[in-house]
Chains A and B, each alone.
Chain A
Amino acid sequence: MKRGTILLVILVLLLAACAPAAETESPPVQETPQVENGGERRTLTVMTHDSFAASEEVLQAFEEEHNVDVQILTAGDAGSALNRAILSRGNPLADVFYGVDNSFLSRALDEGIFEPYESPLLADIPDEFELDPTHHALPVDFGDVCFNYDKAYFEEAGLEPPQHIEDLVREEYRSLTVVENPATSSPGLSFLLATIGHFGEDGYLEYWQGLVENDLLVVNDWETAYYGEFTRAGGSRPVVLSYATSPPAEVIFAEQPMDEPPTGVITADGSCFRQVEFVGILEGTQNRDLAERWVDFMLSPTFQEDIPLQMFVIPVNENAELSGVFAEFLITAENPAEVSPEEISANREAWIQAWTDTVLR
């Protein structure tokens, strides 16, 4: 009994510590929908991956304007969520699917899960993002997978940080790099694609061979790389494969306020791979009108400007303005390496196998 009580007290104290301080209190979560203002309130279901997030007020504005409850369904990571959408095609649970990226785009289009919709807002989105000319899948955001480096490490070591991925095979950067496995990790696959786009199908394995000889470390997931092996987190590798948005995120989620990001990004031509995420209306939806409004909403500046702080990716709409740390510190790649969705779909397995044979064996 006594031990139980002590434990309980500790627990209560810890939970009490979690209570928000008065000045930072957030608005209470809206638990019940507002009073219906004429007409029947409908429900729109959006299926997505578990990284989806949005601001309360942004979503509420949409719900109020269209007298609709938006239900968000997630199903694991991007690949798992897409599988779910494909396998429930005959009896779709949702009206809209968001979160298929260019590495999975061909799978989604080949399976025919989307209905085409040419949103008027596509006019505000640069053509480079419109990878599906049939408008089944519409671009929403992008994220550049690039190397981050620990500024303090290089300063202390008196070493110039690497400028290009080609630098990483050089002797002075020996044993400094950690990447994710393309077979199990989305940024891992993106970097493999970057090397294929940059060095070509004939040259990328030679580059990887060089990385291996320079004592490259490969781990299976981003979390292990970033929070386990990266020097910032107490690991031994000052160069880590992450995103171009990670440095601004470091500023937002810093323990102590900081003037500038503690990490830098390697964005030289051909060093990054651009992940574009798409939204589409699911084939067979009963709420086509609402689904169209939702797609327009996702492409509109209101939602687009909410994207960076919620999901740490970058809006595609030219009219969406970046604010705060993103406006100040975000550096994206001018010329990311390119591989088309069709090529990715056709060669994914072979490329991963070739990579495995070169790097892991």
Chain B
Amino acid sequence: MDRHGAALEVRPEAASSLRSRLGSGLGALLWVLPLAFLLVFYFYPLATILQVSFSRGAAGWAAPFIEALSSASIRSVLWFTIWQAAVSTALTLLVGLPGAYLLARYDFPGKSFLQALTGIPFVMPTLVVAAAFNALLGPRGWVNGLLVEVFNLQQPPIQFVNTLGAILLAHVFYNTTIVLRMVGDFWAHIDPRLAQAAQVLGASRLQTLRHVVLPLIMPAVAASALLVFIFDFTSFGVILVLGGPRFATLEVEIYRQTVSLFNLPLAAALSIIQLLTTLALTVLYTWLNRRLSTPLNLRPRTYTQARLVSWRSKLFAAVVLGLLLALTVLPLAGLAARSVTHFEPPQRGESGGFAGFTLNYYRELGVNRQSSIFYVPPARAISISLGYAGLTVLLALLIGLPASWALARDPADSRSAAARINRLLDPVLMLPLGTSAVTLGLGFLIALDEPPLDLRASPLLVPLAHTLVAFPFVVRSLTPALRSIRPRLRQAAAVMGATPLQVLRHIDLPLVGRALIVAATFAFTISLGEFGATSLISRPEYPTVPVAIYRLISRPGALNYGQALALSTLLMSITAAGMLFIERFRVADIGEF
């Protein structure tokens, strides 16, 4: 690395002026594609639905805001939304960070498998997850059953459904993978000698953690915490299904006002409040992050990772793995087991129970018993889902890469035009995540209704909507990695005559290969699991797997329920297989160039 530095020192002024000229021109150019996409597929539909909604109110734009903020029940919804998201995020970090450390610093058999497993929750439909948790923690679940048996209790001791605990647990279950991936992968490339040096110099473990390790991984921690927070902040299914009727987030209230009460002006005001909160948070994050990010010497994984040798590291690994598996894998394993289990419902005089294994539910998925027009064989639903997911990955990377690259090339001169553009646009990129799915879904349907963009009946709407959600993930995964590349590397290449494209190809791309994988995985899983917007805009002939699961579980009958579980199990397997497949696409790891 120092060789590059030496080259730079020969003609520092020439290099920096060349860089800034290239930087701002290119910076502006890089923004064209992402901005065009956001303008057409985000801001335009959003502005349309908001405008239509407000114009339905008789009392102007301000009235619904006053109505919202003067209502005690909506104020308490807002407050609950914020604090449950904060607590959920803190808990997710608490569980995720030790796991990220384990994945970053140690090499052990089955690691990528573990990562794939912990990523599965991300795609599971809430209704199915609720069923999984219920099987574990419900009044007749295994845990309660065991406790009643062991301690000879009268009542099941754990009350799970309709509690705050259920909400928090489900949020941790869903989002731990974000921390594991984002922090784990970033951490894996940080030179362990920095921490070792601190300890050699006499720092205690705690001091090293506080003064060396945490500052180094902070950009990735902050980025993942922001994403987790926004997810929890806009939480819908978890609150509705597991939280029960006593809890409501803004997103739930928006749905209620839109669908049940048709109070569109109030729903629009609430959507804007939700957006502004997201924006404020992201601005805060961007500001913090500029202070946190320092260029680092990233190291290849082979260099930073050790085997689990000492008893101490083994114990640590066992505890962390146990926790991760119990939290993310156990409920899913129960679900998968249930999908191949035949239960005898209680019949006259005899109690029901386990009655053997069966593949009936899987077989039934292939039968169009009602000869319905919308029947879709599972293989077809899976292909449709995978098709959408593939498109989403391509689109999200296509617009996410230039955007993150532009952000990461932030010029040293903070008053330059390029720096200003970056400061303005950085927080804007996160907005789609903070936008209500109900609002945006309706916006899609009423805005994109005229040629050349008459997409109202187009199956393309689905990957477009998924890309909006995946895009912020792509940017947040790529930017920390891109930012951490020493500018001197790029400068050196530029000085030696490399064009910006060559710099991208030979410096940036190899260095962020790993982050690209993370970004692609997020885009893939987000697309596979998205339900809220998809249920509004997908065509009935082309259901995604979650939509097909929902169709099954919204009908009475043991066979329908079993099929929903079977299809969920297939979704889990597809997700894990997909993630392992993406893993194989390593562009190049750091140091491999």
**Chain A contacts to B: CB under 8 angstroms:** 3-4, 7-8, 10-11, 14-15, 17-21, 24, 26-27, 29, 45, 50-57, 59, 71-77, 79-80, 83-84, 87-88, 91, 93, 107, 150, 152-153, 155-156, 181, 183-184, 189, 217-224, 226-229, 231-236, 242-243, 246, 249-250, 252-255, 262, 309-310, 312, 348-349, 352, 360
- In the A-B complex, the 7 residue pairs with the closest CB atoms: A253-B557, A79-B259, A26-B368, A17-B362, A253-B559, A181-B245, A18-B366
Q: Is the CB of A152 within 8 A of B348?
A: yes
Q: Is the CB of B365 within 8 A of A88?
A: no
The residue from B140, B255, B378 contacting A235, defined by CB atoms under 8 A apart? B140
Cα distance, A152 to B566, chains bound together (Å): 27
Q: Which residue of B lies closest to A55 (CB)?
A: B371
Q: Which residue of B lies closest to A54 (CB)?
A: B373
Q: Is the CB of B559 within 8 A of A255?
A: yes
Known: A3-B580, A228-B130, A228-B161. A72 touches B373 (CB 8 A): yes
Categorize the interface residue count of chain B: 35 or more
Does B258 count as interface, using CB distance less than 8 angstroms?
yes
Q: Is the CB of A250 within 8 A of B367?
A: no
Known: A20-B366, A93-B457. A56 touches B371 (CB 8 A): yes
Q: B195-203, B408-416, B444-452, B480-488: which one contacts chain A?
A: B444-452
B residues in contact with A79, CB < 8 Å: 258-260, 262
Q: Is the CB of A17 within 8 A of B554?
A: no
A residues in contact with B138, CB < 8 Å: 228, 234-235
Q: Which residue of A lies closest to B557 (CB)?
A: A253
Q: Is the CB of A18 within 8 A of B363?
A: yes
Does B537 count as interface, using CB distance less than 8 angstroms?
yes
Q: Is the CB of B140 within 8 A of A84?
A: no
- 22 A-B pairs (CB sep. < 8 Å): A4-B584, A7-B577, A14-B570, A50-B540, A53-B374, A55-B372, A55-B373, A73-B456, A73-B540, A80-B258, A155-B348, A218-B244, A219-B245, A224-B130, A224-B161, A227-B553, A227-B561, A250-B558, A253-B556, A262-B345, A309-B370, A352-B260
A residues in contact with B371, CB < 8 Å: 26-27, 55-57
Q: Is the CB of A18 within 8 A of B377?
A: yes
Cα distance, A254 to B553, chains bound together (Å): 14
User: Chain B 226-249, CB within 8 Å of chain A: the 1/0 string?
Assistant: 000000000000001100111000
Q: Is the CB of B580 within 8 A of A4?
A: yes
Q: Which of B370, B377, B382 has the most A CB atoms < 10 Å from its CB?
A: B370
User: Chain B 512-523, CB within 8 Å of chain A: the 1/0 string?
Assistant: 000000000000
A254 CB to nearest B CB, Å: 6
Cα distance, A10 to B574, chains bound together (Å): 10
Q: Is the CB of A84 within 8 A of B445?
A: yes
Does B139 count as interface, using CB distance less than 8 angstroms?
yes
Q: Is the CB of B245 within 8 A of A184?
A: yes
B322 CB to nearest A CB, Å: 21
The residue from A15, A26, A155, A310 contacting B570, defined by CB atoms under 8 A apart? A15
A residues in contact with B246, CB < 8 Å: 360
Q: Which residue of A lies closest to B359 (CB)?
A: A17
Known: A156-B346, A181-B245. A76 touches B536 (CB 8 A): yes
A residues in contact with B259, CB < 8 Å: 77, 79-80, 83
Does B573 count as interface, using CB distance less than 8 angstroms?
yes
Q: Which residue of A lies closest to B554 (CB)?
A: A223
Interface residues in B526-549 by Cβ distance below 8 A to A read 535-541, 547
The residue from B127, B375, B438, B577 contacting A8, defined by CB atoms under 8 A apart? B577
Q: Is the CB of A18 within 8 A of B260?
A: no
Cα distance, A59 to B379, chains bound together (Å): 24
B81 CB to nearest A CB, Å: 16
Cα distance, A221 to B342, chains bound together (Å): 25
A residues in contact with B131, CB < 8 Å: 227-228
Q: Is the CB of B345 within 8 A of A107?
A: no
Known: A18-B377, A153-B346. A235 touches B556 (CB 8 A): no
Does B569 count as interface, using CB distance less than 8 angstroms?
yes
Cα distance, A97 to B581, chains bound together (Å): 43
Q: Is the CB of A56 within 8 A of B373?
A: yes
The residue from A11, A18, A231 contacting B573, defined by CB atoms under 8 A apart? A11
Q: Which residue of A lies closest to B259 (CB)?
A: A79
Q: Is the CB of B556 within 8 A of A226?
A: yes
B residues in contact with A93, CB < 8 Å: 449, 456-457
B residues in contact with A227, CB < 8 Å: 131, 553, 561
Does B30 count as interface, using CB distance less than 8 angstroms?
no
Cα distance, A84 to B23, chains bound together (Å): 45
Q: Is the CB of A229 within 8 A of B241?
A: no
Q: Which residue of B lies closest to A8 (CB)?
A: B577
The residue from B49, B347, B551, B557 contacting A250, defined by CB atoms under 8 A apart? B557
The residue from B135, B258, B349, B445 contacting A75, defined by CB atoms under 8 A apart? B445
Q: Is the CB of B240 within 8 A of A250?
A: no
Cα distance, A54 to B457, chains bound together (Å): 20
A358 CB to nearest B CB, Å: 12
Q: Which residue of B lies closest to A79 (CB)?
A: B259
B residues in contact with A91, CB < 8 Å: 449-450
Interface residues in B551-593 by Cβ distance below 8 A to A read 551, 553-562, 566, 569-570, 573-574, 576-577, 580-581, 584
Known: A181-B245, A221-B240, A250-B557. A72 touches B342 (CB 8 A): no
Cα distance, A231 to B346, chains bound together (Å): 9
A residues in contact with B456, CB < 8 Å: 73, 88, 93
Q: Is the CB of A220 within 8 A of B241?
A: yes
B residues in contact with A349, CB < 8 Å: 261, 263
Q: Is the CB of B373 within 8 A of A59?
A: yes
User: Chain B 374-397, CB within 8 Å of chain A: the 1/0 string?
Assistant: 110111001000000000000000
A residues in contact with B541, CB < 8 Å: 72
B353 CB to nearest A CB, Å: 10
Known: A249-B555, A253-B558. A152 touches B346 (CB 8 A): yes
Interface residues in B320-369 by Cβ distance below 8 A to A read 342-343, 345-349, 351-352, 359-360, 362-363, 365-369
B residues in contact with A56, CB < 8 Å: 371-373
The residue from A4, A83, A153, A156 contacting B577, defined by CB atoms under 8 A apart? A4
User: Chain B 181-199, CB within 8 Å of chain A: the 1/0 string?
Assistant: 0000000000000000000
Cα distance, A254 to B344, chains bound together (Å): 11
Q: Is the CB of B555 within 8 A of A107?
A: no
Q: Is the CB of B362 within 8 A of A14?
A: yes
Q: Which of B547, B558, B570 has the most A CB atoms < 10 Å from its CB?
A: B558
Known: A156-B349, A236-B140. A229 touches B161 (CB 8 A): yes
Does B52 count as interface, using CB distance less than 8 angstroms?
yes
Q: Which residue of B lies closest to A229 (CB)?
A: B161
Q: Is the CB of A255 within 8 A of B342?
A: yes
B75 CB to nearest A CB, Å: 16
Known: A249-B555, A250-B556, A253-B556. A24 touches B367 (CB 8 A): yes
Does B423 count as interface, using CB distance less than 8 angstroms?
no
Cα distance, A333 to B260, chains bound together (Å): 26
A194 CB to nearest B CB, Å: 17
Known: A17-B359, A56-B373, A220-B241. A7 touches B368 (CB 8 A): no
B389 CB to nearest A CB, Å: 15
The residue from A18, A55, A71, A183 contacting B378, defined by CB atoms under 8 A apart? A18
Cα distance, A32 to B282, chains bound together (Å): 49
A residues in contact with B139, CB < 8 Å: 235-236
B residues in contact with A219, CB < 8 Å: 161-162, 244-245
Cα distance, A184 to B584, chains bound together (Å): 44
A187 CB to nearest B CB, Å: 11
Q: Is the CB of A18 within 8 A of B379?
A: yes
B128 CB to nearest A CB, Å: 10
Q: Which of A74, A243, A262 has the most B CB atoms < 10 Å from its CB?
A: A74
Interface residues in B420-469 by Cβ distance below 8 A to A read 438, 441-442, 445-446, 449-450, 456-457
Known: A73-B457, A233-B561, A235-B139. A17 touches B555 (CB 8 A): no
